[in-house]
Amino acid sequence: MEDKSYWDNAYIHLKTPWISSGLSQISKKHIKTYAQGSSVLEVGCGYGHDLVDLYSNSLNPTGIDISDQSIEKAKKITAEIEADLVCDDFIQWENNKLFDIVYDKGVYHNLQSPAERDAFCHKVSSCLNENGLWHSIIISSDRSQKYESHAGIFLQDFVSIVEAYFQILDIQKGLYGLRNSANDVDSWYCSVRRR
């Protein structure tokens, strides 16, 4: 995973081509179908657009991001809603609350080794209530060339690590949902339940 300064610099210089267009229809459907409860932690919340959409869909969002630059921007975007914001490295974060849902968009595919992926999955699991849902949107390595400079993974790099901690419920391919839709790319929408 890139370090904090990488992400801070991206937000300072507005070099953030990954900006989410918000909660996609696939995510809404997965969450409605599989979630049990309404508290949701968004890991890597970025500008906070998805926090707003999660709130609009009757969920109680908390956003965490390693970049204080991102959290400052997210404070403005989420000013009109009830959302908790935390600036911390998710892996190191000492959380004292369990959630019904963990949601992340554009975070997992940045994990660069099996060890990092395992640590991430373990941490997600430890943040969830029993039967908690993890919904993750991950850019696919099978993507088209438009967004070539960005990370992506093969599905096996998700499934092979995740199954130790989670039961796989649903995996669907769809467009990522970029604000700049001309650059949109194939992604995996993954819903898994804590074992």
Ligand X SMILES: C[S@@+](CC[C@H](N)C(=O)[O-])C[C@H]1O[C@@H](n2cnc3c(N)ncnc32)[C@H](O)[C@@H]1O
User: Which spans of this chain sit near ligand X (rule: CB under 6 A)?
Assistant: 1, 7, 18-20, 43-47, 64-67, 70, 89-91, 105-107
186, 142 Cβ separation under 8 angstroms: yes
43 phi and psi angles, rounded to 5 deg: -90, 130
64 versus 124: smaller Cβ distance to ligand X: 64
Minimum Å distance from CB 66 to ligand X?
A: 4
Burial of 28 per CB tally in 10 Å (0-12, 13-18, 19+): middle
Token reading at 149: 């400079």
CB of 5 to ligand X, least distance (A): 11
CB nearer to ligand X: give 89 or 163: 89
Q: Please, what is the minimum distance in Å from the beta carbon of residue 151 to ligand X?
A: 8
One-character DSSP codes across 112-166: -SHHHHHHHHHHHHHHEEEEEEEEEEEEBTT--GGGTTS--B-THHHHHHHTTTE
Closer by beta carbon to ligand X, 68 or else 131: 68
- The residue (of 47 and 158) whose beta carbon lies closer to ligand X is 47
Q: Please give the residue whose beta carbon sits closest to ligand X in the complex.
A: 44
CB 107 to ligand X: min, Å: 5
Nearer to ligand X by C-beta: 18 or 55? Answer: 18
- Measure the CA–CA gap between 62 and 89, rounded to whole angstroms: 14
Question: Looking at the DSSP assignment, which residues form a beta bridge with residue 62?
Answer: 41, 84
33: exposed, middle or buried (Cβ count in 10 Å: 0-12, 13-18, 19+):
exposed
CB of 50 to ligand X, least distance (A): 6
Of residues 170, 165, 163, the one with CA closest to residue 31 = 170
Which CB, 36 or 113, lies closer to ligand X? Answer: 113
CA angle 177, 58, 85 (to 5 degrees): 70
Residue 4 CB, nearest approach to ligand X (Å)? 8
